[in-house]
Structures are given as structure tokens and as C-alpha cells.
A and B are shown apart, each in its own frame.
Chain A
Amino acid sequence: MRMSRISAALTGLAVSGFSTAALAAGSIDGAVQKQATNWTAIIMFVAFVLATLGITYWAARRTKSAKDFYAAGGGITGFQNGLAIAGDYMSAASFLGIAGLVFSAGFDGLIYSIGFLVGWPIILFLIAERLRNLGKFTFADVASFRFRQTPIRSMAASGTLVVVILYLIAQMVGAGKLIQLLFGLDYTIAVVLVGVLMVAYVMFGGMLATTWVQIIKAVLLLSGATFMAFMVMVKFGFSMEALFAKATEVSPKGIKLMAPGGLVSDPIDAISLGMALMFGTAGLPHILMRFFTVSDAKEARKSVFYATGFIGYFYILTFIIGFGAIVLVLNVPEFMAADGKGILGGTNMAAIHLSKAVGGDLFLGFISAVAFATILAVVSGLTLSGASAVSHDLYASVFRQGHANEAEEIRVSKLTTLVLGVIAIVLGIAFENQNIAFMVGLAFAIAASANFPVLFMSMFWKGLTTRGAFLGGFIGLITASVLVVLGPPIWKSVLGHPAAIFPYSNPAIFSMPLAFFCCWLFSKMDTSADAAKEQEAYGPQYVRSQTGIGAEGASEH
């Protein structure tokens, strides 16, 4: 067995400044030690892959039109879509990262879960219906509804691709490390495997296959987590107090587990992170895209209701799992690192070790396979969203000015899927030993600062013009990116400068209001005849967004 370099990075999520680190917790940071090949896990994973490839084959035969490819024909039900959204959103970051955070910091883990959840009601109340009624395949359809296509689609596609690629890199690196740890596979092989499978699902099965991969994964993850939480609670007679009492007794943090800790170091950062989580969720292109897979606004609403329920339930389970790991994993020699400092593989492995502690090797195999499946489901959704931005927004609307036929558009989409797969593999390998903790945080910050303001203003403010939306969106995108580079996550942690130029880890509190302000300012300054026409077109857009008259329906088959 080849030993790879072991770094201290895995003890990460240290209390100070863990904000973005925890966001990227899907990644297992730093180098990891390769484990002995785990056959139970491999067999279960192979079963998952065979089942999903079977579904992909089935989906491929049903995927003919562009609507089938991008939106599963619009025929997914609200309940199915709710599960798929949950499957898309509950990444390995949520599962392993938040369980790990609860394991190491207790109550603070709950603060994160809540931040990830509270965006959903807002999406429902303000966005879901209008989005469904106005859009077809991508959120750019909505953002560009009454504007000049070329600038707005280019802006939205840039926002989408940046978010997708950052998110993809974080997932790929996390996947490689995780698989190395769980299955004993080589990092490169693991990354290539994830890339190949995701391309296969998306390229052949489009949105239908992606949706079902996400649904199956959500069901597996929810059942696995339920079993773990149940087993933990059984040991404590279903008393949370008994669990907490034991945890505070054995943890070196003691009673501090029960109190807010690291997040309070800076109120501005805490609020900024809260904004990025809440509004970033409403600007994630792969999540927004899911709303076009249902037949109408009614089903779109139901999707959010079910998704919120599943995600909320899952975070409660994660909280129990984290505490369960303190009691059942910490200080158990089998799970401790060789040097006695922390647990094997770092805090993000807490949930994995707990699965072995409560269910033996068989359940460890199951949870490992689920963690792998989780990554596959998330990267597939991301890839499909990136591919649609290129084919539907850039190729069909910008490059061909709306004159591309469906077959060409789908061909471009499949080609892009392949290219994105290659990019994801190459970057996944290139970033193996980089600190990628900032990437998911940056993706949320950009989604909140570029995509969300433009989408929101285009639906709610009559006065928005092409110029305002274009400049506001790009300024949001650039500001968020620059501030992250100058802030502690990159300037200090990655580039190794002694102090960051921009003091906060989360730029959203500055970049998001700035984007809104620029959308407003440049629209107000725009007195062209085009701008007047665009403002006039708000009327019909408003009627359609409210009533669904003229909206895309489900396809017949």
C-alpha cells in the first residue's frame, strides 16, 4: 500500500476562522492516508453504479427533445423534485462536513445547518413560482426575459460557469480524497472514475437520469443517516440530555460544546456568511434549474416544501450523528490517529467512523458507498447546469442568435458535458494538494452577488434595463471574486501572506448590496429607447410570472 504524505491540514475546521473551511467541508483537505481496499463498500458502490447506469439507459431512450434533455420533459412531480433537490443540495459537504463540525465544535455545527436551510423558504415565497412561470431550461431564460439576449445571457452564463467550476473542483478533490480513504483506491483513479460516471449520466441520460440519480442518493442518504441517528439515540434511551451529558463529559471541549463558539469572533463575518448562505442558495444555477423539471408553479411550490422538510430533517440527524461520534468514536483506540491527536482521517471522517461503530463493517460499507453516490449526484447536477449554460445560453442564444435547432443544441450540450468532465478531472488532479477550502464559500458568495441580484431585480423591478443587469451582475461577480482573493481564505491561507488585505472571509455583505446598487444605478442612468421598451415589457412579463399564462408546460410523453 502506497503511503501518501500526511499533513496536519485535516485537523482543519479549527475554531477560529472556520467559516469558509466548513463550507467546503465536502472536501477532505490536505493529504490523506490511503486505506486498505474495502470490499463491502466496493460491492455496494458497484451495485449503485449498475443501478444508476441502468436508469441512464432507460432515461436515454426517453430523452429526445431539448426539453427532455434539460428539464426531463417537465414531467417530474413535486415530491420527486423535492427529493431530487434535497439530493442535489445535501452534498458530502453537508453530511461529512457538518457532522464533523458538530463533532469538533458542537453547537456551531447547528448554526451552519440553519444557514444552509433558511434560504429555502425565501426561494419559495419570492422566487419559485415566478421562476417556473417565466423560464424554460436555465435561470438565464428568466433573467434575460425582456432584455437583449447577448449581454444578459453572457453574464448569466459566466456566473453559472464560475459557480459550477468552483463547486466542481471542490467536489472532485473531496471525492478523490474520500474515495482514497474509504475504498483504498488511488486518488487519480478515483477522480477519473467520478468524472467518467458523471459524464455518462449527463451525456446519455440528461436531466431524467440526473434527477433519478439524485432521488436514489437522497433516499439512501436519508435512510443511512436515520439509521445512524436512531442507533445513537437507542444507546441513550432517546434522551438528548443523556447524549449531551455524556458528550460534554468525554470531549476535551467539555461544556463549551453546548454554546456558540468560533463564529462569534467577528459579527460582520457571521452576518456576511449568513447572507451568502441564504441568498447564494437562491442563485445556484444547478438548483434553480431543477424548477423547470416540474409541470407548473403548483408542483414547483410542493418541491420546495418537500425539499425543505427533507433537508431540515437531515440536518437534525447530522447534529445527532456529530454528537454520537463524540461519544462513540472519540477516544476509541480503533478510530484514533496513530499520533493520538484527533481521529483517523480528521474530523470530517467522524460520521464514517460512527457508521462502523454502530453498524459494523457492513454498514460502514453502505455509508461509504452512499458518500460516493452523494458526490456523483451533486457533480452530475452541476455538470448538466454548466452544459446548459454553454449550449442553451451561449451557443443557441448568443452565438446562433436563436437560430440553432434542437438537435444542434443538444449536440453542443453533450459535447460540453464531455469537455466539463475533462476539465473537472484535470482540475481535480491539479488541485490534489491545494487548499481548496475557500471554493464552495466563493461559489455561494458569487451566486449571491451576481446571479441572485440580477434574477431578483429582473422579476421584481420594472425599471431594470439590459445595461443595469449586465453591469450589476458583472460587478457583483468581480467584486465577490476579488474580495475573496484579497481576504483571509486565499491571501493568507493559500498565498501565505502574513495578513489579509480584506479582513473578512465572506464578502457577500459588501458585494451583494453593491450588485443591487449597480443594477439600480446603471438602469437609472440608461435613458435609451431600448431601455424604455424593456421597462414597458415588464407588464406582460409580470402577468405571465403571476398567472403562468404562456408558461412552458410538461411535454406530452
Chain B
Amino acid sequence: MSKSSYERVLANPKFHELCSKRSSFGWTLSIAMLVVYYAFVAVIAFDPALLAKPLSSSGVTSVGIPVGLAVIIFAFVITGVYVRRANSEFDELNRQIVEESK
């Protein structure tokens, strides 16, 4: 990267907009994933009986099963949410920044 294009990018308000939007979005989703996962681990570690309870009085399926599956699905869905926004909104902004740096 040449010195001048580096400076042009830094001077472009869109660059700062991109960085702050993308990083706050990325961190928000990361924290959401960490909270969901470590909440799950914490329940297993400190109150396993909560997950062991059966869903209904007649069945054997425990609360833990849908909760566990939900964690897996949650992980997939939030990657989809991120990719959707990054590949449209962020990439468009990025394209403009690259264009304007030339």
C-alpha cells in the first residue's frame, strides 16, 4: 500500500464508519455467543439438575436436549446474520473506500 493511499483511507470518514460499525457488530455477536456458551457450561458445572429435568411428566426427553440443540442452531444462525450484513452493507462501504483511495 502506498503512503498516499494509506493517508487517503485514514482521512475518509467512511473508513471510520466501517471500522466502528463492523467491530461493534462483530463484538456484539461474539459476546452473545460467549454468553450463550458459557451460560450453558455454567449450568452444567453448577446446576446440572436444571438440564436433567424432563420436558413433560410423561416423557424422558430432558430440558438439556432442546437447550443443547438450540446452542448449535444459535451458533449457525448468528454466523449467517453476520455474513449477510458483512457481505452486503460492509462490503459495499468497503468497495467505496477502496475506490476512493485510488
Contact = CB atoms under 8 A, between A and B. Distances in A.
A258 B98 contact: no
Interface in A246-303: 248, 255, 258-261, 263-264, 267, 270-271, 274, 278, 298, 301-302
Interface in B30-55: 30, 33-34, 37-38, 40-42, 44-46, 48-49, 51-52, 54
Contacts of A263: 44-45
B21 to A, nearest CB: 11
Nearest to B84: A305
B65 A118 contact: no
A301 B37 CA distance: 21
Interface string B1-30: 100011001100001001100100011011
B75 A270 contact: no
Contacts of B26: 125-126
A550 B5 CA distance: 10
Contacts of B6: 539-540, 543
Interface residues of B, number: 53
A304 B72 contact: no
Contacts of A122: 30, 33-34
Interface string A523-557: 00000000000000001100110111110000000
B60 A118 contact: no
A110 B33 CA distance: 17
Residue of A122, A261, A544 ringed by the most chain B CB atoms within 10 A: A122
Interface in B58-77: 59-62, 64-65, 68-69, 71-73, 75-76
A274 B41 contact: yes
Residue of B37, B59, B87, B101 ringed by the most chain A CB atoms within 10 A: B37
A501 to B, nearest CB: 24
B61 A240 contact: yes
A258 B55 CA distance: 11
A121 B29 contact: yes
Contacts of B22: 546
Residue of A121, A261, A305 ringed by the most chain B CB atoms within 10 A: A121
A301 B38 contact: no
Contact of A308 (B64, B65, B76): B76
B51 A304 contact: no
Given A245-B59, A312-B72, A305 B80 contact: yes
A552 B14 CA distance: 23
Contacts of B76: 308-309, 312
Interface residues of A, number: 50
Contact of A125 (B19, B30, B54, B87): B30
A539 B6 CA distance: 9
A107 B68 contact: yes
Nearest to B31: A125
A270 B45 contact: yes
B101 A549 contact: yes
A31 interface: no
Nearest to B69: A316
A129 B48 CA distance: 38
Interface string A336-354: 0000000000000000000
B17 to A, nearest CB: 11
Contact of B86 (A258, A271, A301): A301
B86 to A, nearest CB: 6
Nearest to B41: A274
A464 interface: no
A212 interface: no
A263 B68 CA distance: 15
Residue of A107, A261, A263 ringed by the most chain B CB atoms within 10 A: A107
Contact of B1 (A110, A312, A544): A544
Nearest to A240: B61
A271 B66 CA distance: 21
Nearest to B55: A241
Contacts of A125: 26-27, 29-30, 33, 82
B68 A111 contact: yes
A278 to B, nearest CB: 7
Given A312-B76, A543-B1, A260 B48 contact: yes
Given A107-B51, A301-B87, A540-B6, A121 B19 contact: no
B72 A546 contact: no
Contacts of A124: 79, 82-83
Contact of B37 (A129, A267, A274, A315): A274
A550 to B, nearest CB: 4
A298 B98 CA distance: 15
A506 interface: no
Contacts of B41: 111, 270-271, 274
B78 A121 contact: yes
A368 interface: no
Contacts of B73: 312
A308 B75 contact: yes
Contacts of B51: 107, 259-260
A47 to B, nearest CB: 33
A114 B76 CA distance: 11
A279 to B, nearest CB: 11
26 contacts: A111-B44, A111-B68, A121-B33, A124-B83, A126-B27, A126-B30, A240-B61, A241-B59, A258-B54, A260-B44, A263-B44, A264-B45, A264-B48, A267-B42, A270-B45, A301-B82, A302-B83, A308-B76, A315-B72, A539-B10, A543-B10, A547-B18, A547-B97, A547-B101, A548-B94, A548-B98
Interface of A: 107, 110-111, 113-114, 117-118, 120-122, 124-126, 129, 240-241, 244-245, 248, 255, 258-261, 263-264, 267, 270-271, 274, 278, 298, 301-302, 304-305, 308-309, 312, 315-316, 539-540, 543-544, 546-550
Given A121-B33, A244-B65, A547-B15, 11 more contacts: A107-B64, A111-B41, A121-B29, A121-B75, A126-B26, A244-B59, A259-B62, A308-B76, A539-B6, A543-B9, A547-B101
The 6 nearest A-B residue pairs measured at CB: A259-B52, A267-B45, A258-B62, A125-B26, A550-B1, A260-B48
